[in-house]
């Protein structure tokens, strides 16, 4: 029986997200084996040092890196390079990434130390192309002021919707990881009245309660992102912000048993349902990245570790 990585955990208070791209003329296999050993070490250490709050690191691998590293074939069934989704008004861009690290801790210090340790192993063979420091904003709100994560699966549903089962037995307890770094136009969003903001999401801002179906707009975020009770994903979004560069955003991150579920949500949001009825949230939020990775089981990582 394989063990999963910590993909079913809740968001935590502090996060660092890293995307790494292998340099063109190097052989990255040896460094990759060492980083697998490091990830195993960091997770064991995090559990021992912070048994209550946890300090974890989930590593995921992109399609091209999987091939370049000579990892097993056939590949996980739905692992591919994410293709852009082009709607009439808004598009989900596709960007490259070989390795993704999702680092969580109760404070920034442990997250920074884990990032430094990973950098030490990888920096000769790869470049870090994204580093986003996410934080818990008040009572779990996105930087737009609405609670983010409420309708996530809980309990046994997290296993059912978050981890691969016997449908792809070689990759059991792995998970598809999809990420997008969104920048918000906060000035435009804040110029809306609270009632107008609520119609963007389809939920009431203060109470975090869903609008009744007869009031919820068809182009609200939750009307389009909800693709049915049997098709769910685990969202671990974190806000980030930098006043000096005026970059306030959401790092959207989802673990899923099937990437096709995430794709269906993205199609609804960007193309619209019916086409043209796109997600109003996109008028205030622009993705700068979009990459699909695969987070194999912890057992898989341990077998590769050198």
Q: Contact positions toward ligand HEM, by CB under 6 A?
A: 142, 144, 146-151, 180, 182, 201, 203, 221-222, 225-226, 235, 250, 252, 262, 265-266, 281, 285
Closest separation in Å from C-beta 186 to ligand HEM: 11
Q: Is 267 a catalytic residue?
A: no
| Burial bucket for residue 201 (CB in 10 Å: 0-12, 13-18, 19+) | buried
How many Cβ atoms sit within 10 Å of the Cβ of residue 274?
A: 7
Residue 12: CB minimum distance to ligand HEM, A: 16
* Gap between the Cα atoms of 237 and 250, Å rounded: 7
**Residue with Cβ nearer ligand HEM (78 or 148):** 148
> Which residue's CB is nearer to ligand HEM, number 115 or number 197?
197
Which of 98, 148, 236, 279 is labelled catalytic?
Answer: 148
Q: How far is the CB of 24 from ligand HEM (least distance, A)?
A: 31
Is-contact 62 100, C-beta < 8 A? yes
Q: Which is nearer to ligand HEM, 43 or 289 (CB)?
A: 289
Nearest approach, Cβ of residue 180 and ligand HEM (Å): 6
Q: Two tokens at 195? A: 């009632």
Which has the closest alpha carbon to 218: 205, 194, 195, 199? 199
DSSP 169: G
Nearer to ligand HEM among residue 170 and residue 231 (C-beta): 231
Rounded distance between C-alpha atoms, residue 72 and residue 61, angstroms: 12
Polymer length in residues for the chain:
306
Of the pair 147, 177, the CB lying nearest ligand HEM is at 147
Instruction: Give me the phi and psi of 185, to 5 degrees please.
Output: -90, 85
Compute the least distance from the CB of residue 142 to ligand HEM, in Å.
Answer: 4
d(CA 62, CA 65): 5
| Short-list 239, 253, 236, 138, CA closest to 184 | 239
Catalytic residue IDs: 148
């Amino acid at each position: 029986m394989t063990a999963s990585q910590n993909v079913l955990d809740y968001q935590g208070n502090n996060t660092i997200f890293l995307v790494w791209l292998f340099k063109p003329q190097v052989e990255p296999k040896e460094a990759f084996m060492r980083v697998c050993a490091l990830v195993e070490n960091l997770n064991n250490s995090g559990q021992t040092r912070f048994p209550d709050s946890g300090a974890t690191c989930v590593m995921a691998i992109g399609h091209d890196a999987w091939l370049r590293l000579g990892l097993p074939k056939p590949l996980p069934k739905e692992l591919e390079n994410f293709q852009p989704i082009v709607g009439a008004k808004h598009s989900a861009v596709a960007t490259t990434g070989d390795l993704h690290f999702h680092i969580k801790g109760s404070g920034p210090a442990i997250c920074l130390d884990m990032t430094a340790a990973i950098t030490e192993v990888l920096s000769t063979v790869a470049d870090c192309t994204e580093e986003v420091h996410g934080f818990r904003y008040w009572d779990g709100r996105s930087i737009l002021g609405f609670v983010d994560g409420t309708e996530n699966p809980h309990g046994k549903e997290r296993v059912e919707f978050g981890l691969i089962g016997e449908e792809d037995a070689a990759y059991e307890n792995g998970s598809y990881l999809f990420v997008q770094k969104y920048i918000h136009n906060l000035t435009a969003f804040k110029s809306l009245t609270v009632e107008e903001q609520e119609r963007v999401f389809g939920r009431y801002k203060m109470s975090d309660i869903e609008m009744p179906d007869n009031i919820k707009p068809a182009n609200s975020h939750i009307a389009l992102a909800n693709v049915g009770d049997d098709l769910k994903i685990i969202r671990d979004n974190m806000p980030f912000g930098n006043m000096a560069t005026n970059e306030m955003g959401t790092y959207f991150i989802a673990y899923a048993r099937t990437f096709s579920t995430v794709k269906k949500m993205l199609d609804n949001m960007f193309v619209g349902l019916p086409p043209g009825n796109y997600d109003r949230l996109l008028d205030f939020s622009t993705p700068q990245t979009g990459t699909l990775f695969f987070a194999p089981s912890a057992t898989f990582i341990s077998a590769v570790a050198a």
